Structure 1
Amino acid sequence: MKLRIVPAYTGVKWVQLGVRAFWRQPLALAALFFMTMAAMSLATLVPLVGAPIALALLPAATLAMMVATAEAQQGRFPTPALLLVAFRTGQRRLRAMLALGGMYAVGFLGIMGLSALVDGGQFAQVYFGGAKLTPEVAESPAFQGAMWLSVLLYLPLSLLFWHAPGLVHWHGVPPVKALFFSLVACVRNFGAFMVFGLAWMGVFLAAGMVVALVTGLLSLAVGTAAGGLMVGAAMVLAAMFFSSVVFTFRDCFEPPEEYLQAAPAPATEDAPPPPAD
């Protein structure tokens, strides 16, 4: 496994590749994304431990979308069985994925706990659905402070876990090392990830304006159909975003032989390899 350094413009290519891969199998990838979200939502219904379980499933859900996109990119049909791919690759990797999920849940809940020190837990209650977001609450300085603190603290957590599921699954890297290598890859390719984020922001803004225009016209004619269109569009955009994650992984690390060979290799500058496992 070797870390790759890519040019900043690669961030735009990641977005393009993700969108193209999604439209190779749009129904299958959208359905898989919906099923992963539904599974996490059902997990939250478990009393007391529902939220931590749902959070712990996120690395496995991310990996499922990465593998499904890789299948679509190579011309194969991604089946619902890929939802369990994180738990079907041997005991060692199963334990590693469970460890990743547990660490992610602890990290996220820790962020929510720190935000509670700012506003007494109001932001956390709204986030987890335990309280209603009212205009008065949203405009509260304490609530806004807790929200921005959570956003600031979530960034390093996101970088730690961005590549970690792929490193565990494709390279067999232990969980703690996977977190370290993920963070290093994101930091070393900061320019590409910045462009990637800005490009997706532009896609979401443009799509939002189009959907708002269409739903505005529909609401005059059929009313409730407009809301369904907005939800559906949001789900498709989110699925496309997750479809692009696998390309960031492919370009930041030297891939195994069987992994996404159909995709064109980017222009890269190889970095020194990370410490041996």
Structure 2
Amino acid sequence: MKLHIVPARTGMTWVKLGVRAFWRQPMALAALFFMTMAAMSLATLIPLVGPAIALALLPSATLAMMVAAAEATQGRFPTPAVLLVAFRTGQQRLRDMLVLGALYAVGFLAVMGLSALIDGGQFAKVYLGGAPLTKEMAEDAAFQSAMWTAMLLYLPLSLLFWHAPGLVHWHGVPPVKALFFSIVACLRNFGAFMVYGVGWLGVFLLGGVVVTLAAALLAAMGLSGAASGGVMVGAAMMLAAMFFTSVVFTFRDCFEPPHHPSDEATHEAPPPPPSDPAAGSH
């Protein structure tokens, strides 16, 4: 397995490919993303361990969207079966994905725990959905410090797990090594990921402007606020699905294509070949 070093401009290519792949199968990819979020929401209802289980499902949900995007890119229709892709590729891969999920849950809860040392856990309760956000709370200096601390700590956690699901699933890399290779790939391609982040920020801002105008138009037509709220929620879900659709392109350009017989046996689409022939390798 080789690490590819790509030019910074590749980050914008990832954004474009993610949007393009989404619009090849918009209903299927949006529905799959909604189902992954619904499954995680249902998991939170389990007493005591629900939130931890929901967090542990995130790497598997990310992998499902990666496989679905690869299917769409190669002209296939991604079915709901991809949601279980992490659990039907052999016992070893299943164990590795479960370990990866457990590590993510522990890491995320550790981030929330460290933020709780600053404000007594108020931000953690709000973020995890256990408490409403009030104006007084948002203006509290301790709450704001906890929020920024959590955001800063979550960045390295995100980089550790960015490529890890794909490395475990397609390359058979053990979970801890996958975390190491993931953050190394992100740091070595820091310029591309910076452009990628800025590109998606622009997409979200543009989407917000369009949604705001649409909501204002609906209000001018005398439609209810529920209609405007539905448009906003639907647009947010669609943009989030587009973002997760683009993740597979960051993975396929950072690592050499995998060659596993299991991909053919399970009829899964591996990541499409790299689109940037100018990318170097290390």
Q: Separation in 2 of the partners of 1:260 and 1:131?
A: 40
Secondary structure of 1:89's match?
Answer: coil
Find out whether 1:222 has 2:233 as its counterpart: no
Distance 2:3 2:247 in 1: 16
Counterpart contact for 1:63–1:86, Cα < 8 Å: yes
Q: Does 1:267 align with 2:269?
A: no
1:204-234 C-alpha deviation (Å, 9 max, x unpaired): 0011011101101212320220100000000
Cα displacement (A) at 1:263: 6.1
1:189 matched residue in structure 2: 189
Q: Match for 2:258 among 253, 256, 259?
A: 256
SS at match of 1:195: helix
Q: How many residue pairs are counted as aligned between the two chains?
A: 271
Which region of structure 1 is more displaced relative to structure 2, 255-264 or 189-198?
Answer: 255-264
Deviations 1:139-188 (A, max 9, x none): 10000000000000000000000000000000000000000000000000
Shift in Å, 1:130: 1.3
Instruction: Check conservation: 2:86, 2:94, Cα contact below 8 A.
Output: yes
* TM superposition shift of 1:265: 4.1
Equivalences for residues 9-158 of structure 1 within 5 A:
9-158=9-158
Counterpart contact for 1:96–1:175, Cα < 8 Å: yes
Q: Which residue of 1 aligns with 2:265?
A: none
Structure 2 stretches lacking a partner, 5+ long: 260-268
Q: For 1:256 and 1:82, how far apart are their aligned partners in 2?
A: 18
For residues 130 and 96 of structure 2, the distance between their equivalents in structure 1, rounded to whole angstroms, comes to 31
Provide the rounded CA distance (Å) in 2 between the counterparts of 1:24 and 1:212: 25
Letter in 1 for 2:237: M
| TM-score (norm: length of structure 1) | 0.96
Change (3 A) 1:261 1:36: closer
Partner Cα distance (1:250, 1:90) in 2: 22
Matched residue of 1:46: which SS?
coil
Q: Which amino acid aligns with 2:60?
A: A
Separation (CA, whole Å) in 1 of partners of 2:189 and 2:272: 22
C-alpha root-mean-square deviation of aligned residues, in Å?
1.0
Distance 2:161 2:273 in 1: 26
- Choose 242-251 or 215-224, whichever is displaced more: 215-224
Report the alpha carbon displacement of residue 269 of structure 1 after superposing the two structures with TM. Answer: 1.0
Between the aligned partners of 2:219 and 2:176, the Cα distance in structure 1 is 50
Residues 252 and 273, structure 2, Cα contact 8 Å, conserved in 1: no
Q: Which residue of 2 aligns with 1:4?
A: 4
Distance 1:261 1:98 in 2: 26
